[in-house]
Chains A and B, each alone.
Chain A
Amino acid sequence: MSSNHVDTKKHLKIYLTVYISLMILTGVTVFASYIPTTVGLGITLALIIASIKSSLVAGYFMHLIAEKKIIFWTLVLTAIFFIFLIFIPLMSVLDPIKY
């Protein structure tokens, strides 16, 4: 994002909205953890909320929403590798070593 010609009032309003949303979502995350549920559902819910929060931070505080394509596609490539990395452990479940 260019530092020039920035509509500061508009930015301020957006930042405050994002900030309040992040604080509310933090409260929701903590509240949801006290609701008795299965581990799987709890993990899914917590990760969905964390993903929304991280999208807000990346999108607005890090200006990714208005960023150039080269940055966007670099991150898409990173996300693909990241997802692959996270799912590697599942291979140990799908194809375990037999003793």
Chain B
Amino acid sequence: MSLEIIPYTIEVREDTGVNNAKLGIWLFLTSEVMLFGALFSSYVFLRIGAASWPEGSSILNIPMATLNTAFLITSSITMVMSWLSLVEKNFSAYKKYMLVTILLGLAFLVVKYFEYSAKFEHHLYPSTNTFLGLYFLMTGLHVLHVIGGLIMNIYLLLPGAKMWQSYPERFTNRVETAGLYWHFVDLVWIFLFPILYLL
């Protein structure tokens, strides 16, 4: 199958000013904004209608969540550095940065596993109260996004990296596009952290 079947993967379209891959990922991210927006809206609706609302800090573990925030922020810079390494034609640096990005994503999931386990040990479930229902739903959906991003990044580090030999510009674009998704996952967490844990 020819790589030229889908046009404008690298070349910029005259009408949009960007290539199709970039426009595509941004359109996907706008749909993601509305997906999480609906959940944030539900949070506001349920919170202002609740007779009482628990403090996140009394139920959730702030140090662990802060650590996870640091993991995601650090993974964002390593992700963008992996793209920058490819722009510099430094493939070995790309592999190192991408590996660190993946490890940080996995570390985020490990911390989340311990957080969820602690809640279940204390018999705190999504059905316990509205706050925990929202907590598990919003963080659970975010975790699914992290897993999706990790699968994509692992592909780009291992089998997908072969494209660097045959079509380096297209591979660089793929990493940039994957990076946009990964940064969005970080961006969602930036709002989830204070809303669920600190307020």
A→B interface (CB under 8 Å): 3-4, 6, 8, 11-12, 15-16, 18-19, 22-23, 26, 29-30, 33, 39, 42-43, 46-47, 49-50, 53-54, 57-58, 61-62, 67-71, 74-75, 77-78, 81-82, 85-86, 88-90, 92-93
Please report whether the interface of chain A is mostly helix, strand, loop or mixed according to DSSP. helix
Q: Which residues in chain B, 142-184, are within 8 Å of chain A measured between CB atoms? A: 169, 172-173, 176, 179-180, 183-184
Q: Which listed residue (A30, A81, A88, A90) contacts B34, Cβ 8 A?
A: A81
**In the complex the two chains form, what is the Cα distance from A4 to B198 in whole Å?**
42
Q: Which residues in chain B, 59-112, are within 8 Å of chain A measured between CB atoms? A: 62, 66, 69-70, 73-74, 76-77, 79-81, 84, 86-88
With A19-B77, A68-B18, A74-B27 known as contacts, the answer to whether A82 contacts B84 (CB < 8 A) is no
Give min CB distance, A2 to chain B, whole Å: 8
Query: Does B194 interact with chain A (Cβ within 8 Å)?
Result: yes
Give min CB distance, B37 to chain A, whole Å: 5
B→A interface (CB under 8 Å): 16-18, 22-23, 26-27, 30, 33-34, 37-38, 40-41, 44-45, 48-49, 57, 62, 66, 69-70, 73-74, 76-77, 79-81, 84, 86-88, 169, 172-173, 176, 179-180, 183-184, 186-187, 190-191, 193-195, 198-199
Please report whether the interface of chain B is mostly helix, strand, loop or mixed according to DSSP. helix
**A-B contact count, CB below 8 Å?**
131
Q: Which listed residue (A16, A47, A85) contacts B194, Cβ 8 A?
A: A47
Give min CB distance, A83 to chain B, whole Å: 9
With A15-B80, A33-B194 known as contacts, the answer to whether A85 contacts B34 (CB < 8 A) is yes
